[in-house]
Amino acid sequence: APEICNGIDDDCDGAIDEGLATTDWYLDADDDGYGVISAPTTDCERPDDHVESTGDCDDGADAIHPGADEICDGVDDDCDGVVDDSPSDGTMWYRDEDGDGYGSESTATLACDPPSGDWIDVAGDCDDLDSTVNPDATEECNGIDDDCDGSLDNEGDCPCTLQMRSGHSYLFCED
């Protein structure tokens, strides 16, 4: 008789299910679709509570597996070897190098807690090396975007305007 995948020696040659394509199956006790890599079962059919995907770092918790959302809980939820990295419920932190209470968006990092140093959870600083330039600053007539609103000298009676000529920015001031 031809050998079929059934755990029986169908052709009476002393070997069970020989010559059939087999797969390594991994125990998935928490039913999250990922098994543990230790002690795979090699078989031509999937045993109950087993899957082909491996990499589960906690087979007792169905919310912990490769590809899971990382959250601020002190656990490696996505099984990448790092705890609470890029958590979906984290805070965006910005480096405030000039100490004016605003950080630069170019330094943004998502984390549960602020990195060590001068990090805050308020962005908007357009010049983080000058503490007099930030969203709370008063716009002055000086050719600088003091209040980080994207416009130079746009408040009050400033005789200066920024104009583009031949692809270059020029500050023009009336006498």
Q: Encode pLDDT of 133-158 as tens digits.
A: 999 998 887 878 899 998 877 766 66
Residues ≥6 apart with Cβ < 8 Å to 35: 25, 26, 27, 28, 50, 51, 53, 54, 56, 59
Per-residue confidence band for 50, with pLDDT thresholds at 50, 70 and 90: very high
Strand 160-165 to 119-120 pairing: unpaired
Predicted pLDDT of residue 95: 96
With a cut of 60, say whether residue 175 has pLDDT above it.
no
Q: What is the pTM of this model?
A: 0.67
Percent of the chain with pLDDT over 90: 67
Query: How many residues does this entry show for the chain?
Result: 175
Mean pLDDT computed over 104-112? 95
Per-residue confidence band for 84, with pLDDT thresholds at 50, 70 and 90: very high
Phi, psi of 52 (to 5 degrees): -85, -30
Cβ pair 60, 29 in contact under 8 A: yes
With a cut of 70, say whether residue 45 has pLDDT above it.
yes
pLDDT tens column, 113-137: 999 999 999 999 999 999 999 999 9
Mean pLDDT computed over 35-54? 92
